[in-house]
Amino acid sequence: MKIAFAAVKGSKRAFLKERIVFTWLPLFSLAFLFYCTEALIGGAQAQTVTDGTVVWPRGENHPDFNNNGIVDFPDFIAFAGAFGKASKRYDLTGDGLVGFRDFLTFAGYYGMKLEVEPAQPTISQSAELKDFVDIKYLAYLEEAEEVPRVIIRNNQIVRSDTIFGPNTAEVFRDMAKGDYQFVVLGDTARVTIPNYLPEPNPAYWAAFDPDFTEGEIRFLSLEGAFSDKNVEDNPVGIREVVDIDDHIEVVSDSLGGYSITALKGGTTKLKIEFGSEEGGGARSYYRYKNCTCSSIYYANSNSPGFC
């Protein structure tokens, strides 16, 4: 420690005023002194040195006090003014007081270029189902102004874009069914748009009268008779329209409409097969007086509905 104290010279008057006066000892000698005494005092924080530049861990006090990219004389003056005080900024060793160990740390890096390790951006994101086929997306970004985002559907990239900090809020509307992943900075938010079953349109069928008079002819377009929450599965396909009690004759036309002729009077029982496996399963819809019901076809097996 005698070698270490050779770097500092104090007069009696300065000692009484609790101040320390630094000699003109060349600072390159102080650097040498630092390395000679490092083992004795415990050393400073481990640093990475590349091409003469010190990369200092982010969040830890560093000796480039004025942040000009180099540890130089203005930093030395600032440090000297804080010597002996409890100053968090100039306490390089973290022992609670700016003292001789901090001076040795400072001297060891004098004249070096210094860079503070860049902050690593972080992301917090969520994706949730909204209104059947919409996706509500939220992201909170820290330590970055913008980052790339990749949107994947069923393991295929469908979109690559950029989100901006600190907050991003979006609603993706009318999304196709499938499994979605939102990938940002290695973090993944997941959400699924289900494959919904097609359904009869109540407003359409409320206006349909199943009572026929003998010989009556009606034209049935079935446009708007069924719908699917999955946008891509509309319009819902009609597979077959049949009479199940031999009261009517159904003839389809080239435009997808149906001509219905009553062979007998009274209430008829009408069966309509609609939908597809791709659209959530084929279904049968039965319509006759005071009764509506449907059944679902899965893998060509029929589970009939009952009224």
pLDDT score for 51 = 72
Judge if 207 and 175 occupy the same domain. Answer: no
Checking if the pLDDT of 305 tops 50, the result is: no
Judge if 203 and 185 occupy the same domain. Answer: no
Last residue of a domain, one of 193, 221, 242: 193
* Token output for 224: 């708007």
Checking if the pLDDT of 19 tops 80, the result is: no
pLDDT in tens, 94-103: 888 899 898 9
pLDDT score for 50 = 66
Q: Which residues of 147-166 are buried (b: 16+ CB within 10 A; e: fewer)?
A: bebebbbeeeeeeeeebebe
Last residue of a domain, one of 145, 178, 193: 193
Domain containing 180 — which CATH number?
A: 2.60.40.10
Domain containing 99 — which CATH number?
A: 1.10.1330.10
pLDDT score for 271 = 85
Judge if 186 and 204 occupy the same domain. Answer: no
Mean pLDDT within 162-171 = 95
pTM listed for this prediction = 0.63
Judge if 52 and 102 occupy the same domain. Answer: yes
What is the pLDDT of the chain when averaged over all its residues? 79
pLDDT score for 1 = 33
Judge if 97 and 136 occupy the same domain. Answer: no
Pairwise CA distance, residues 131 & 173, whole Å: 9
pLDDT-derived band at 29 (thresholds 50, 70, 90) equals low
Judge if 231 and 148 occupy the same domain. Answer: no
Q: Give bridge partners of residue 141 from the DSSP assignment.
A: 123
Check residues 126 and 66 and name the one with the higher pLDDT: 126
Checking if the pLDDT of 157 tops 90, the result is: yes
Judge if 133 and 105 occupy the same domain. Answer: no
pLDDT in tens, 230-245: 999 999 888 888 888 8
Judge if 177 and 241 occupy the same domain. Answer: no
Mean pLDDT within 146-170 = 96
Judge if 96 and 13 occupy the same domain. Answer: yes
Judge if 106 and 135 occupy the same domain. Answer: no
Alpha-helical runs (H) found in the chain:
2-5, 12-16, 27-41, 73-82, 100-108, 202-206
pLDDT in tens, 99-134: 989 899 898 889 888 888 888 899 999 999 999 999
Domain containing 274 — which CATH number?
A: 2.60.40
pLDDT-derived band at 292 (thresholds 50, 70, 90) equals low
Checking if the pLDDT of 27 tops 60, the result is: no
Closest CA to 147 of 115, 119, 183, 176: 183
Judge if 159 and 214 occupy the same domain. Answer: no
Last residue of a domain, one of 170, 193, 216: 193
Check residues 199 and 208 and name the one with the higher pLDDT: 199
Checking if the pLDDT of 40 tops 60, the result is: no
pLDDT-derived band at 58 (thresholds 50, 70, 90) equals confident
Q: How many domains does the chain have?
A: 3
Pairwise CA distance, residues 228 & 277, whole Å: 13
The whole domain housing 226 covers 199-303
Torsion of CA 148, 173, 231, 303, to 10 degrees: 90
Judge if 89 and 36 occupy the same domain. Answer: yes
Q: Which of 8-12, 135-139, 220-224 has the lowest mean pLDDT?
A: 8-12
